[in-house]
């Protein structure tokens, strides 16, 4: 080979190296991973997905789909080799697996330390209480503790919660009597988690705030109202119809909560508003259902800022593009429509943004998709989107 050619091929491979993409690895392949992946792809960032089963909403959209358990260290190693940075779409991944990735020299955002604090609702609440953040009165449910003792500590009624793996209310029970307690204790303990009890908050509104943080920046999204049905998030209204002072308080508490767990990345903080007092309920260390409206409703979506944050890139603007945005979850219903009908009803309204996650199977109450509307008249948006939701069955 002539010198000239050798020089030329060197130059070529350097150019290739510069253009070689960066890859974000996401543990989990559900809708949150899918929407994060879509944001990453738009910015020219590659993605790798690790999920228990194949054909997941996110897994089908990447060339780098790793199928299997996060406890499989061989698989985890292969996955890590593919990724520059690793993040997650749910907090249930054992923090030891994240620690393993960190020991391999990978950056995991949020860190295993933050996840260890958040994935156990008792440790999470202790971290908040230690930082002076108002939370419901709470206590660990030790093995032989009696109903009366718990009631005297946290009042009646109280909420019994699985410390780990609870979501969409599946790990919770409202307790009024000793009988409720015994039944719920049996049921929730079968989920292999220890329990905690906390006082019931007679809130009149639930709020949520998304917070995104890098080593250099911290930004909050608008405070939103969330409406749960059967403990599952159903409607999100942005901004929440509350006073400026309350908004500021909610924002401050959300920021303090993230700092209390040394959090970097994106976080959804859930709060209760009761008698003009705001109490933190819990936090999710990832994009959150209460932030789906940001895809069309804000200058930069929660998913894009999530991806920016894991790479420690500059964050995007978080303000609303119109005065209001409203989102409704499309939850699984008993008789799903055929695709043709579902798209007909979902798409005939010109100003509705339809998201269908592409899950293989629909179940009652399962999050199958969502719709969002943005505009300047919040009351009208709520009325219109509520009517549209009724026309779509997934
Ligand atoms: N202490 C409480 N007092 C009143 N309602 C509660 C309390 N804790 C939870 N809830 C209700 O149950 C819903 C789900 O509970 P949460 O603790 O957020 O669990 P999950 O992890 O399932 O989201 C909350 O959004 C709220 O509506
Ligand atoms: Mg919750």
- On whether residue 267 sits in a domain, the answer given is yes
Q: Which long-range contacts (CB under 8 A, 24 or more apart) does 200-204 make?
A: 200/136, 200/155, 200/156, 200/157, 200/158, 200/159, 200/174, 201/136, 201/272, 201/274, 201/279, 201/281, 202/274, 203/272, 203/273, 203/274, 203/279, 204/273, 204/274, 204/275
Does residue 118 lie in a domain region?
A: no
The mean per-residue pLDDT over the stretch 148-155 comes to 97
Domain co-membership, 240 together with 165: no
| Number of the ligand 1 atom closest to the C-alpha atom of 228 | 27
Residue 323 has pLDDT above 60, yes or no: yes
Same-domain check for residues 151 and 81 = no
Tell me the pLDDT tens digit for each residue of 173-200.
Answer: 999 999 999 999 999 988 667 999 999 9
Query: What pLDDT sits at residue 98?
Result: 98
Residue 123 is assigned to a structural domain of this protein: no
Task: Establish if 374 belongs to a structural domain.
Answer: yes
Q: Are residues 194 and 215 in the same domain?
A: no
Model pTM?
0.94
Q: Name the domain count of the chain.
A: 3
Q: How many CA atoms lie within 13 A of 65 on its CB side?
A: 18
User: Do 158 and 104 sit in the same domain of this protein?
Assistant: no
Half-sphere exposure of 135 (CA within 13 A, CB side): 27
With a Cβ cut-off of 6 Å, ligand 1 is lined by 136, 159, 161, 166-169, 171-172, 198, 200-201, 206, 228, 231, 270, 281-282
Report the separation in Å between the CA atom of 282 and the middle of ligand 2, taken as the mean of its atom positions. Answer: 6
Q: How far is the CA of 231 from the centre of ligand 2 (A)?
A: 8
Q: What is the CATH number of the domain that holds 330?
A: 3.30.470.20
The CATH code of the domain that includes 145 is: 3.30.1490.20
pLDDT of residue 19: 66
Print the domain residue range for 230: 205-389
Do 295 and 380 share a domain, yes or no? yes
pLDDT digits (tens, 9 = 90+) for 245-289: 999 999 999 999 999 999 999 999 999 999 879 999 999 999 999
pLDDT in tens, 159-180: 999 999 888 888 999 999 999 9
From the CA of 316, how far away is ligand 2's center (Å)?
26
Q: Do 160 and 89 share a structural domain?
A: no
Q: Give the model confidence (pLDDT) of 114-142 as tens digits.
A: 999 999 999 999 999 999 999 999 999 99
Atom of ligand 1 at shortest range from CA of 167:
22
- The last residue of one of the domains, among 199, 225, 241, is 199
Ligand 1 atom with minimal separation from the 270 CA: 18
Average pLDDT over the chain, rounded to whole?
Answer: 93
Rounded Cα gap, residues 271 and 268, in angstroms: 10
- Residue 168 CA: nearest ligand 1 atom is 22
Ligand 1 centroid–CA 359 distance in Å is 25
Q: How many residues can be counted in the chain?
A: 394
Q: Of the residues 180, 199, 218, which one is the last residue of a structural domain?
A: 199
Please tell me whether residues 377 and 265 are part of one structural domain.
yes
264 and 242 part of one domain: yes
Residue scoring higher pLDDT (111 or 340) = 111
Residues 370 and 232 in one domain: yes
State the Cα–Cα distance between residues 219 and 182, nearest whole angstrom: 44
Q: Tell me the average pLDDT across 314-331.
A: 98
Q: Same domain, yes or no, for 167 and 186?
A: yes
- 288 alpha carbon to ligand 2 midpoint, in Å? 10
Within-domain flag for 379: yes
pLDDT at 166: 86
Residue 228 CA: which ligand is closest?
1
Residue bearing the bigger pLDDT, 353 or 143:
353
Residues 99 and 143 in one domain: no
């Amino acid at each position: 080979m002539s010198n000239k050619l050798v020089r030329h091929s060197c130059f070529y491979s350097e150019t290739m190296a510069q253009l070689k993409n960066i890859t974000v690895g996401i543990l989990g392949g559900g809708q949150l991973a899918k929407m994060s992946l879509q944001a990453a792809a738009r910015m020219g960032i590659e993605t790798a997905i690790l999920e228990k089963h194949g054909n997941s909403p996110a897994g089908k959209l990447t060339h780098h789909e790793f199928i299997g358990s996060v406890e499989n260290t061989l698989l985890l190693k292969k996955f890590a080799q593919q990724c520059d940075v690793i993040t997650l779409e749910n907090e249930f991944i054992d923090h030891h697996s994240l620690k393993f990735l960190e020991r391999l020299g990978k950056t995991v955002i949020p860190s295993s330390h933050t996840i260890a604090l958040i994935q156990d609702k008792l440790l999470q609440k202790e971290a908040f209480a230690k930082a002076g953040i108002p939370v419901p009165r709470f206590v660990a449910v030790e093995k032989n503790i009696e109903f009366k003792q718990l009631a005297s500590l946290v009042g009646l009624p109280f909420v019994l919660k699985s410390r780990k793996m609870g979501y969409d209310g599946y790990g919770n029970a409202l307790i009024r009597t000793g009988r409720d307690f015994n039944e719920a204790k049996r049921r929730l303990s079968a989920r292999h988690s220890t329990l905690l009890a906390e006082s019931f908050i007679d809130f009149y509104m639930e709020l949520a705030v998304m917070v995104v943080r890098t080593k250099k920046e911290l930004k909050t999204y608008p405070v939103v109202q969330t409406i749960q049905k059967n403990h599952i998030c159903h409607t999100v209204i942005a901004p929440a119809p509350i006073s400026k002072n309350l908004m500021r308080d909610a924002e401050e508490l959300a920021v303090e909560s993230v700092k209390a767990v040394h959090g970097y990345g994106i976080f959804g903080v859930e709060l209760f508003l009761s008698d003009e007092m705001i109490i933190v309920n819990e936090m999710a260390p990832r994009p959150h259902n209460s932030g789906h409206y940001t895809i069309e409703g804000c200058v930069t979506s929660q998913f894009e800022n999530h991806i920016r944050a894991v790479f420690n890139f500059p964050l995007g603007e978080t303000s609303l593009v119109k005065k209001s945005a409203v989102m409704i979850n499309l939850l699984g219903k008993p008789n799903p429509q055929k695709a043709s009908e579902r798209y007909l009803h979902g798409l005939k309204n010109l100003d509705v943004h339809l998201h269908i996650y592409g899950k293989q199977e629909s179940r009652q109450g399962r999050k199958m998709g969502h719709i969002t509307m943005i505009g300047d008249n919040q009351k009208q948006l709520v009325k219109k989107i509520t009517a549209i939701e009724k026309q779509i069955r997934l």
